[in-house]
Structures are given as C-alpha cells and as structure tokens.
Structure 1
Amino acid sequence: MSDGALTGRTVRLVPLAVDHAEALLPSASDPEVWQWMPRPRPESSAGMRAMLQEMLDDPTRQCFAVQRLDDDAVIGSTSLYELDLVQGRAEIGATWFDRSCWGGPYNAESKLVLFSHAFDTLGLARVALRTDNLNTRSQKALTQLGLVYEGTLRSHMIRQDGTRRDSLYYSLLADEWPLVRDKLLARITAKERRVTQR
C-alpha cells in the first residue's frame, strides 16, 4: 500500500505514530503483557507518547501499530530495529499485543507480514529476534517456527525488577524464509479455525 501499511489476512501493520498512544496504552500498561519487555512500562498517556516518540526518533527503526482488519482496532505494536540495509540485517522487537488477542492469529501473522517485508521487499539477508532467558514460551515458539538459536548474551541487560537478564538470540536467513513462511501460514490457518469455532 502507498501509505506504508503492510496488510495480511487478519492484520494490517500501519506506520506507528505518537497518536497511537491512547490506543496502545491499555495493553502496554498491563503488567502481564509487559512482563518481558526491557523498557519501563508506560503508566500514563504522557509516558506512552514519550516512549513512542523515542522509538520514532531512532533512524534505524521501522515501527508499526498492529490493526485488526475486521474492526480496525489497534491491538499491538511491532518493529524492525537496528535496520542496516548496507549489511542486509535487522532485528524484530518491541512487539506486544493486547491480552485479549493472545492465542489468536495476530502475532503469528504480524511476524509473517514483517518477515515478508524484511526479506521480500527490503531484501535483507538476516533477521534476528532476542528474548529473555526466562521467557521459555517465546523460546519454544521461535524454535517451532524454524528460527535458529545462535547463542546467549550473558548478563545482557537489566530487567525492570533490577535483576540481570541473559538474552537468547535467534535468527532467520533469507534462504530459510520460504520454509518458515509455510510454517507461519499453517499456524495462522490453525489459529483462525480455533477462533471461528469458539
């Protein structure tokens, strides 16, 4: 789309704006949603706006608000960051979804759309994701998709509770993308079926 949006079957990733703050605050201020995020949890509209502005000011970041297609509700956010077109690499992060959307197809399809943008549009050679060593759910999901565990950065950053976090790195290369794309499509289809059967 000419407006920079990336559209899938159930979600649309639209360029993030500070004006998305009010729509994103309920999910971002939820402690359970924010549990594994390395940045402070925004607790007010002003704090949310400041966080979004900081993200938008980063020239190596492409930030998106995630809209659900059936009602245009903003249900989360995701980003490409540390984007280096010369070296052909980026990371995916700053991803969160409203708790009401957990278990649905939205996170998987957001990954599908963003990976497609990274590999098929931007022509990147690699995309990486990192996760907290305690976030076993994320580690399992990344492994099941076919991303490759690369290693652990020990004592990599400080969690919000003051403890030190190890960060586990996973990556996907351009020649591995078609197989992962097929796995993501299968996962999205299965999740869509579960949602319609409820």
Structure 2
Amino acid sequence: MFSKQSLCTERLSLVPLSANHLEGLYQAGQDPQVWRWVLMNYTQTRTMLTEWFTNTAQFHAQQQVVYAIIDKATQQVLGTTRLFALNKQHLTAEIGHTFIGTAWQRSFVNTHAKYLLLCYAFDELGLVRITFNTHEKNTKSRNAITRLGARFEGISYKDRLLADGSSRNTARFSIIDEQWPAIKSQLEGKL
C-alpha cells in the first residue's frame, strides 16, 4: 500500500531512507539529548546505524515507510521519521520513530515533516486514524504533537520496555479523518 515516493514542501523533503542517508543521520544524531526518551540510540556508532538500517528500517515494507528528513536549501539530512503500523483493514497507522537533530528542533522541520506525512496518510492513502505515541515524560515531544492538532487520549502504563530495562509509560495522541481538514488548514497556515 505504501509507495516509495518523496514528499516535499518548499523547505523540506521526506525521501525514502537509503544507505546514502546514513552518514547524514549519524551526524544528526550525535547529541545525546536527542535520544533521552527514545527506545534506542541507533546512531551511537556507524556500525549500529548500519545494523539498524538493515534490520529495522527495512522491516515490514508493507506496513511502514521510513523517510530521511532533508533540508531542501542545504540538502542536509536532519533526522528521520516514519509512517508505520499500517492496518489496511481498519485504515489506521502511526507516525513516529522521529528524531530531528538538536539544531533543527523547535524550527520549521517537525511541522513540515508531519504535515507531509499526514497529507499522505489521509489524502492519498485514505486512512481514517493516525496515532502518535511518546514517552509520558517527554514534554518536548508531547508539546510538538499537541501543536500539530492531535488530541491527547491518555497514558498506557508500562507500554514498552526501554534499553535500560525500565518500562515506559506512553502518552497517546490521535488525529482522525473528521478532524483532518481543520488541522490541515491550521498546519498550512504555519508552513
């Protein structure tokens, strides 16, 4: 169901992730703060990044598409994001596994990237629900998701096991198809 097409605004491109993007991802992921709330820092070493690319980013191609986030002005790789957990029967998916290099956080990047993914999900794929999940304590991510127009649905306790062995409580958000036209208009005003 997913196509391997690039998605673009005037300032940003989402390009299906390839091995050519790995060095840029490695550079973008070097600030440890990027990984504070994430399940695993796969940019710790170039070897880990290559293994992640081969074993995780390419996994379930029918259920996910992983993108490199690229600044159109500089062609610099700023991070990665994905549309995943596609459920064709229920017409749902999740947006996440996003990381954006520290220098690009709280800039235009997240709004443009999520706008592109949401347009693709609702307008091209005809999905009816998109979910966003983040660590309960990750206020930066929660605020960014809320700024998109997503609705907070609650906390799922001990939802995921983290690399250090502790459990993550997950804050869940969603956007549904009836909300999408108003949210799309709002996001277009921010582009």
| 1:3 CA displacement | 6.5
Aligned length: 187
| 1:148 CA displacement | 1.4
Q: Which amino acid aligns with 1:111?
A: K
**How large is the RMSD of aligned CA atoms in angstroms?**
1.7
What does residue 195 of structure 1 align with?
none
What does residue 11 of structure 2 align with?
10
Identity of paired residues, percent?
A: 28
Of 155, 158, 163, which residue of structure 2 is paired with 1:160?
163
Q: Which amino acid aligns with 2:134?
A: T
| 1:185 CA displacement | 2.4
Offset from partner CA, 1:30-68 (integer Å, 9 cap, x none): 211111211244311111011122221223111100111
Offset from partner CA, 1:68-115 (integer Å, 9 cap, x none): 111211111110110122321100111111111122101110000010
Q: Which amino acid aligns with 2:33?
A: E
What does residue 48 of structure 1 align with?
49
What does residue 71 of structure 1 align with?
74
| 1:161 CA displacement | 3.5
What does residue 119 of structure 1 align with?
122
Offset from partner CA, 1:113-142 (integer Å, 9 cap, x none): 010000001110110000100012222232
Offset from partner CA, 1:134-162 (integer Å, 9 cap, x none): 01222223223321112211011123333
Ranges in structure 2 where 5+ consecutive residues have no aligned partner: none
Stretch deviating more after TM superposition (142-151 or 83-92): 142-151
Of 109, 112, 121, which residue of structure 2 is paired with 1:109?
112
Q: Is the 8 A contact 1:34 1:41 kept in 2?
A: no
**Partners of 1:88 and 1:119 in 2: CA distance:** 10
**Partners of 1:165 and 1:12 in 2: CA distance:** 31
**Partners of 2:175 and 2:47 in 1: CA distance:** 36
Ranges in structure 1 where 5+ consecutive residues have no aligned partner: 189-198
**Partners of 2:141 and 2:10 in 1: CA distance:** 23
Q: Secondary structure at the match of 2:69?
A: strand
Q: Which amino acid aligns with 1:122?
A: L
Q: Is the 8 A contact 2:28 2:77 kept in 1?
A: no
Of 122, 133, 153, which residue of structure 2 is paired with 1:150?
153
Q: Secondary structure at the match of 1:52?
A: helix
